[in-house]
């Protein structure tokens, strides 16, 4: 049961190859079947939602075309008014043909995960380079933070944005965010695969790059039905000046909540117990295993207080901190008592949001950055008969104060939005704001 709750699952409702022999409205029936079997509020499913479903299905004949079926499914999944019910057309996920002169972002089956060293974020309607890993193919090509992505392989960013806005006409904000999400997805691939990307720099010059992915640093893991992935983590320490002298600050970050990383996280947090303040950087961390947040929170809490709960069809699952006082070698350590800053952005989701919201609700941490993804609910995602992808919610979440995060996100006490000026000058506004809070004498 836990594995069904902790991740966005990759499921298959019907194999895309069946699309040629199934009626077009088979997509609609498959979507409803998946939702009606898994959505946690059975009264809502059997009441108003089923009434809407019956009405919508009645408008579809056996000869309904794909666009009509998609409109009906979008109307169906709009009923709960939850941001992460999504229908994504297969065409939006197609990678370019390998015969295309611009190449492909797809990876070879079985290839070790590779990286170009690029990460991107949205700034307004632009997709902008947010980070460039030192020594990476992107760094060697001269790509800089603040460069704007204009083309990826054969697809221009304006064309991708137009297609997604047409698919999501009632939520252009979500459509624009999805542009960045899809581009981020295509940045990944296998070692040795090629990425072709065009960027516009601060002077308005466009340059095309051909980047060959190199091995990612980190720990390779596989969890459930997810493909192999590389989980990265880091811990640094610095001394910052304050009006009364100086404070030692430890900064810890990791890219996913997966069991393979638990020993490393314990080591980093125990090693940081003697610091004056702690910064936890969850930007870009999409989540993972929910059960891990209890142990991580337990490094900063000395009692088993509630961090929130999930409501499923089978009942309520509560999450409480698991105080950690003994390290793996048997050493005893008091819990970390200093100030804690948590950094989030629009790609902090799932377990990262559960953790940040829980610590914020308890008053144990102050949050910096930009509003998180608002996808703080376990969801299932899979292919409909046509090959379109449906994502749908399977549980509800509330933080330690009973507040829902889904569709809203974790809202920082100190918002620090990304700007081109900051990116092009190499300034990390969220990290600097957290340091300034600590320097001012954060409690």
Instruction: Sketch out the chain's domains with CATH numbers.
Output: 2-89 (3.30.750), 93-215 (2.30.42.10), 227-376+394-439 (3.90.226.10)
pTM greater than 0.75: yes
CB within 8 A of 313, min separation 6: which ones?
Answer: 38, 39, 40, 42
Report the pLDDT value the prediction gives residue 110, as an integer from 0 to 100: 57
Nearest of 134, 115, 148, 208 to residue 424 by alpha carbon: 148
Q: What is the pLDDT of residue 219?
A: 81
- 65 Cβ neighbours under 8 A, 6+ residues apart: 24
The enclosing H or E element of 435 equals: helix 429-439
Q: Which pLDDT score is estimated for 36?
A: 94
CA distance 258 to 352: 12
Question: H or E stretch including 432?
Answer: helix 429-439
Cα-Cα-Cα-Cα dihedral of 430, 431, 432, 437, to 10°?
A: 90
Over the chain (443 residues), what is each successive 10-residue block's mean pLDDT?
34 38 76 93 95 94 86 92 78 40 41 88 93 95 97 91 82 80 87 95 96 88 68 95 93 95 95 97 92 94 92 85 89 92 94 95 97 82 87 86 88 96 96 96 79
Q: Distances in Å between the alpha carbon of 116 and those of 34, 136, 160, 194, 236?
A: 37, 6, 21, 9, 23
Query: How is 34-102 classified by DSSP, letter by letter?
Result: HHHHH-S-HHHIIIIIHHHHHHHHHT--TT--HHHHHHHHHHHHTTT--TT-EEE-HHHHPPPPTTSTT
Q: What are the distances in angstroms from CA 280 to CA 104, 221, 240, 300?
A: 35, 22, 16, 12
pLDDT of residue 25: 84
pLDDT at 442: 78
Torsion, Cα 83 87 92 98, to 10 degrees, reads 120
Say what the pLDDT of residue 440 is. 92
| pLDDT score of 185 | 84
């Amino acid at each position: 049961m836990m594995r069904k709750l902790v991740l966005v699952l990759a499921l298959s409702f019907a194999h895309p190859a069946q699309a040629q022999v199934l009626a077009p409205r088979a997509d609609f029936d498959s979507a409803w079947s998946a939702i009606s079997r898994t959505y946690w509020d059975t009264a809502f499913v059997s009441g108003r939602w089923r009434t809407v479903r019956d009405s919508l299905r009645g408008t579809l004949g056996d000869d309904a075309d794909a666009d009509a079926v998609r409109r009906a499914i979008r109307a169906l999944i709009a009923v709960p008014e939850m941001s992460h019910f999504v229908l994504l057309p297969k065409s939006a996920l197609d990678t370019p043909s390998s015969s295309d002169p611009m190449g492909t972002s797809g990876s070879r089956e079985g290839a070790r995960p590779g990286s170009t060293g690029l990460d991107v974020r949205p700034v307004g309607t632009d997709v902008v380079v947010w980070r460039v890993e030192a020594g990476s193919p992107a760094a060697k090509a001269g790509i800089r933070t603040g460069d704007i992505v204009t083309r990826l392989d054969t697809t221009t960013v304006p064309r991708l944005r137009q297609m997604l806005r047409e698919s999501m006409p009632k939520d252009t904000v979500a459509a624009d965010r999805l542009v960045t999400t899809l581009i981020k997805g295509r940045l990944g691939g296998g070692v040795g695969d090629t990425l072709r990307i065009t960027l516009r720099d601060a002077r308005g010059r466009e340059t095309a790059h051909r980047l060959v992915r190199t091995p990612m640093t980190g720990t390779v893991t596989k969890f459930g039905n997810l493909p192999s992935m590389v989980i990265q983590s880091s811990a640094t320490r610095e001394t910052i000046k304050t009006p009364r002298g100086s404070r030692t600050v430890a900064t810890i970050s990791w890219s996913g909540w997966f069991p393979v990383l638990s020993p490393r996280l314990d080591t980093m947090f125990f090693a940081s117990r003697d610091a004056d303040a702690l910064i936890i950087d969850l930007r870009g961390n999409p989540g993972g295993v929910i059960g891990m947040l209890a142990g991580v929170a337990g490094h900063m809490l000395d009692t088993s207080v509630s961090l929130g709960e999930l409501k499923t069809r089978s009942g309520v699952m509560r999450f409480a901190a698991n105080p950690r006082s003994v390290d793996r070698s048997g050493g005893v350590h008091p819990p970390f008592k200093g100030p804690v800053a948590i950094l989030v952005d629009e790609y902090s989701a799932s377990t990262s949001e559960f953790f940040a919201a829980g610590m914020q609700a308890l008053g144990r941490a102050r949050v910096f950055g930009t509003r998180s993804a608002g996808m703080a609910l376990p969801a299932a995602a899979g292919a409909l008969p046509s090959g379109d992808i449906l994502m749908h919610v399977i549980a509800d979440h509330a933080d330690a104060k009973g507040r829902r995060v889904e569709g809203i996100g974790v809202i920082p006490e100190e918002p620090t939005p990304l700007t081109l000026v900051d990116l092009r000058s190499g300034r990390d506004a969220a990290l600097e704001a957290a340091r300034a809070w600590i320097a001012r004498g954060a409690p």
